[in-house]
Structure formats: structure tokens, C-alpha cells
Structure 1
Amino acid sequence: MAFYEHIRAYREQLEITQMEAAKSLGIDHSVLSKYERGDLAIPIDLLMKFVEVYAIPQDLFFNMLKDIPFKSKNPGLEARESRTRYIESFQEEYVSQVIHLKEYRDFTMQVVSTSTDDKERKRFITNNMKKD
């Protein structure tokens, strides 16, 4: 498996959309798509940004670069741990910048109180993000 396939699979494991990943990486989503398909070589300076944004452990990242399969005793647990690391880094980077805003807290409370169903919450968010 080529590095670009590893990086795409890892993003998908984290349940991050290409749009979200591209914004976090500071690139256009169409460029990320080309990286993930192997149509464009990933610049060396962007490699460490992937590690940072996706919160990839160093040993796993080196295995990805060397195309060494990652042997996991508990892949489900490791996927959850990876997702947790990503969410924590996302919160530090983005949520910490807006949590002090009353409007952010009000909106978050509205989303959470809308329903316990993620589909309903997504629909609420989508409807409230539409621009006039």
C-alpha cells in the first residue's frame, strides 16, 4: 500500500471529511483529493502537518512511510484512541478559540437539545449553517 493510501485510510478511520482535513491542513480539498489518489506527490513540508493534524503516532507514521503493515492486537481500540487524539487536538486548535463566545455555547446547547439522534443533529446544524 502506498503512503497516499495509508494517509487516506487513516483519515477515513478518524471519520474526518476531506473538506475538514483540507481546512485543517491549510490546503484546498481538491488538492487533498489528488494527494490521496496519488495524482500529486505530497510535499515534504506537508508531511509533518499530516502528523500534527491527524495526531498520528510517530511509530505509525514511519511505518506508513516505509509501507510496513501496522500489526494491531486490538484495531477497534486503536481506532477509537486515534479518533480521541484527533478530537482533542481539534478542540485545542478550534474550539478553544470560540468557547468563550456566548453564541457558540448557545448554539451548541441548541444542537445537543435538538435530539439524541446524530442524523437529527446534523440536519439541525446544516439548516442553521445555510447562508441567506
Structure 2
Amino acid sequence: LICNACSWLAEDPGVDVNWQNIQIMNKSGEKIYALEFMFKDSTLLTPQYVFEVFGGKLLIETENDSSFIGKIPIPDNELQANDKYQVIIFKQSTLDKYSKEEIIKQNIFDKRYELSYNELKKMNFKITYSGN
């Protein structure tokens, strides 16, 4: 019993066993701004959510040839495994070209990924944004 308790305490306290890291690589040739989110329903992550609901404060700035780490909950069942993890991306050139109002009104963004846990698993939990 004492050995089991000691081995449990010796585990890395920074490891979160309920979440899976996802690496999002920027290979677009320019800086990007991204937001990752997972809704419990079929809601789409839109520019309106990014700038009006979240205030644009959650955007992750990522230089070209760099990456950031997102997280997805490890599902307990098949129904949860089909929930969609979403990433919406805006290139620097898009944000320079359009105002936030235009982006919201015209629903402008450069890329949106909608992937389930199983789809991400097949991709080794890596997404590469090429700018297309």
C-alpha cells in the first residue's frame, strides 16, 4: 500500500490525464491568429464568437514556422468522441485588410477546422495550417 501511494505521488503533477494536447503548426508564410474551442453541441466557431462574444482576447498569435498547443478532452464514450474540436484561423493579412466589423458581418476567416477526437487521433493530434 505504501509503495503504491509513493508511486502515485511521484508522478508528474503537471500531467493532465483528462486532456490530449493538439499541436497546431503554422506553415502559412505569415503570422496567424487562432482560437480553439469545443462546443457541447453543433455550434460553429465564427468570427462573431471570436470578436463579440470572446472579445478577441483568446486569440493565439503564432509566427510562421511555429506552433501552439491546444487541448481536447479525452472522451469517456463514443458520443463524446464525435464532439467537434474547432480551430478558427485569421492570417495577419486578413486582419490588416478588413475591419473587425467587416469580418463579423461578412463572416470572414481564413480557415476553420472541425475535427472529432477520432479524426485528430488519426492525424497524430497534429494540424498543419498551410495558408490555403
Q: What TM-score range do you get, normalising by the shorter chain?
A: under 0.3
Bigger RCO of structures 1 and 2 (CA < 8 A, at least 6 apart): 2
Structure with the largest fraction of strand: 2
When normalised by structure 2's length, the TM-score is 0.22
Q: Report the TM-score when normalising by structure 1.
A: 0.22
